[in-house]
Structure 1
Amino acid sequence: MALPTSVKLFEMAPRDGLQNEPGDMVPTATKMALIERLAKAGLAHIEAASFVSPKWVPQMGDATEVMTGIDRRPGVVYSALTPNLKGLENALSAGVEEVAVFGAASETFSQKNINCSIAESLARFAPLLERANDAGVRVRGYVSCVLGCPYEGEIAPHKVAEVAKALYEMGCYEISLGDTIGVGTPLAAKRMIEATRQQVPIECLAAHFHDTYGMALANLYAVLEEGVSVIDASTAGLGGCPYAKGASGNVATEDVLYLLAGLGIDTGVDLQAVIDTGYWITGELGRQPGSRVALAKGRVSA
């Protein structure tokens, strides 16, 4: 299959990138500035917050302040994670125009992450999707552990396909397939997509790959060849999963942009602006960017 001519990048740094930061909460103003810088760089889909209990994810405790305080850029979708109806109602009150729910392809991970089985998690999402639909808000679905689980090891592709199909049939407009612990390799990624596309249209599938073993870009190239045209990435490689020991950050947006540019694939995103943003936010966090492209090309502006 031919490579896509354009790819939609879904930026994860403000939510998936910052939710796992240790210590004090990242200041609300810093989160807002990050979101606004990313939008200015041309990223048209940004997951900006998570309406979860601060007890479980303290860094996301200011979701309402973030979503009501950002300067929204025309044409940019600012989404938020909403694991339950209460989270959805809070998100709607904050003017969120797109929300996301998350399930898993691993029974054990589902139990550890959200304290219920896969079937129970899907059942919980039904009223949420109904409410979101009534409110005119789109819902994106995430499937964790699509290429491996920290508790169960390898995950069969048909299990991923089953969960993705369930979310799609419930009304999720797009299903993001997450290699939560970054153990996937290109052939495994291809097989997973081949199985899942039998149940969900390929244009409704996104790749969300972590780079724990340095395979994220290779895996992304493999699924681009299968027709995937939506990629989740995090500026400066920020992020990880608090319930997956050893899981390093998402693949860096800068590195994905460099790959796509080399393939002649359009994204509409300014690579240097993202590099500069990555240097800025990691400076705020007291470390260097996790992007190889950023480290190689360097920073141009503050």
Structure 2
Amino acid sequence: MSLPSQISLREVGPRDGLQNERPVPLAAKLELLEALVAAGLRRIEATAFVSPRAVPAMADAAEVAAELHRWPDVRWSALVASRNGARRALAAGVTELEYVVSAADGHSWANVRRDTATALGDVAPIAATVHAAGGFCEVIVATAWDCPFDGPTSADRVVRVVSEAIGMGADAVCLADTIGTATPARVVSLLEQVRDRHPDVPLGLHMHNTRGMGIAGVLAALQFGVVDIDASIGGLGGCPFAPGASGNVATEETAYLCHDSGIETGTDLGGLIEAARLAQRLVGRPLDSGVLRAGDRPRGPSNSGPGVTKVGRP
């Protein structure tokens, strides 16, 4: 299959990337947001309105939201896991929300203390509240391929969750490989089954790189035609309620793949590498991104082509 000419790259590092880390001060988070915007990212998941006891790193969600007006040309979003979280996010001025529903009961109980059916039932009231505020409601389907507690998630179950979410008012759906087990063939198989049922619904992909398969899954999805891709600066990330889950696909690795393949992302790779260095300093440990370690490949007049960006800031 052919590759798309451009994709919509959503940066999830400030939320998914930092939720597993020791709390980072607000000023440092804002410094990271500034670096991400400077690198050209225009869709950024800024924070999560979840229980501060369960996820202390996101306790300052309202404070983060209060500063997002600094960058008016960015599509800011926030993750929520309950009706109350949605209300808090809207009250803080964030109107693009991602509501998480785990396709597997085991992970749903660990993550939100409810089974999948109960969590799914909140899509309708959350979507209605978001739409009343003029916002956008996306449902993230967690453990779409495998669950650390229940094992493999059946495609039929995932398709059923997607169908019910859309029927309840979700504007878009994103499939999440929460524990990083999916390989390219499995990625495409599930995407095919979801697309067969819902050809016109915006469909995104959220890959974790736990077993080194994340970027391969992204490439498979791009070849299939999915153009809404999540990534996290430096490969930061993981789910605090999914044993064994580790970092996301790195934003700079995703951009490197796309730029070298002639796919426009709207980002500057050098700026992304600088942002990844900053993220590494903020968390105080080496990050797993190969592009962060090695940098971009040498590019001169003889090998500059479509989608290629400068190493430095524009």
- Tell me the TM-score range normalised by the shorter chain: over 0.9
TM-score of the pair, normalised by structure 1: 0.94
**CA 1:142–1:76: 2 relative to 1, 3 Å:** same
Counterpart Cα distance in 1 of 2:279 and 2:248: 15
Structure 1 residue aligned with 2:16 = 16
Q: How does 1:53-68 map to 2 (within 5 A)?
A: 53-68=51-66
Counterpart contact for 1:176–1:208, Cα < 8 Å: yes
Name 1:126's counterpart in structure 2: 124
Q: How does 1:184-203 map to 2 (within 5 A)?
A: 184-201=182-199
Aligned to 2:197, the other structure's residue is in SS state: coil
Q: How does 1:253-268 map to 2 (within 5 A)?
A: 253-268=251-266
1:104 positional shift: 1.3
**Which residue pairs with 2:150 in the alignment?**
152
1:114 is the counterpart of 2:112: yes
Q: 2:285 aligns with which of 279, 284, 287?
A: 287
- Residues of 2 paired with 1:273 and 1:240: CA distance? 24
Aligned to 1:94: 92
Name the SS of the counterpart of 2:182 in structure 1: coil
* Unaligned stretches of 5+ residues in structure 2: 297-310
Question: Offset at 1:150?
Answer: 0.8
Match of 1:250 in 2: 248
Q: Which moved more, 1:176-185 or 1:291-300?
A: 291-300
Range moving further from structure 2, 81-90 or 4-13: 81-90
TM-score (norm 2): 0.91
Q: Distance in 1 between matches of 2:190 and 2:240?
A: 24
Match for 1:16: what amino acid?
D
Q: What is the aligned partner in structure 2 of residue 206 from structure 1?
A: 204
Q: Structure 2 vs 1, CA of residues 202 and 149 (structure 1 numbering), >3 Å: closer, same or farther?
A: farther
- Aligned equivalent of 2:216: 218
Instruction: Report sequence identity in percent.
Output: 41
| 1:139 has 2:127 as partner | no
Query: Among 200, 209, 232, which residue is 1:234 paired with?
Result: 232
**Unmatched tracts of structure 1, length 5 or more:** none
Q: Is the 8 A contact 1:77 1:97 kept in 2?
A: no
Deviations 1:120-163 (A, max 9, x none): 11112221111111111111110111121111222222221111
* Whole-Å separation in 1 of the counterparts to 2:52 and 2:163: 31
Q: Distance in 2 between matches of 1:246 and 1:202?
A: 34
Deviation at 1:300, TM superposition (A): 6.5
Which whole-Å CA distance do the structure 1 matches of 2:234 and 2:137 have between them?
26
- 1:202–1:227 contact (8 Å) kept in structure 2: no
Tell whether the 8 Å contact from 2:124 to 2:169 is kept in structure 1 after alignment: no
Number of aligned positions between the proteins: 299
Alpha-carbon distance between aligned partners in 1 of 2:95 and 2:9, rounded to the nearest angstrom: 18
Q: Distance in 1 between matches of 2:169 and 2:3?
A: 27
**8 Å Cα contact 2:49/2:58 also seen in 1:** yes
The one-letter code of the counterpart of 2:70 is R
Give how far 1:244 is off: 0.9
What is the Cα deviation at residue 203 of structure 1? 5.9
Indicate conservation of the 8 Å contact 1:203/1:228, yes or no: no
Q: Distance in 1 between matches of 2:152 and 2:222?
A: 22
- 1:157 touches 1:192 (CA, 8 Å); kept in 2? yes
Inter-CA distance 72–199: structure 2 relative to 1 (3 Å threshold): farther
Q: Extract structure 1 runs of 4+ deviating beyond 4 A.
A: 298-301
- Contact (CA 8 Å) 1:84, 1:125: kept in 2 or not? no
Contact 1:36 1:70 in 2 (8 A): no
Partners of 1:97 and 1:138 within 8 A in 2 = yes
Correspondence for 1:297:
295
Equivalent residue letter for 2:150: E
Per-residue CA distance 1:250-293 (angstroms, 9 max, x = gap): 01001000111122111111111011011012112212232101
Give the superposition deviation at 1:204: 0.7
Q: How large is the RMSD of aligned CA atoms in angstroms?
A: 1.6
- For residues 21-48 of structure 1, the C-alpha deviation after alignment (integer angstroms, 9 at most, x for no partner) is 03xx210111112112212211111000
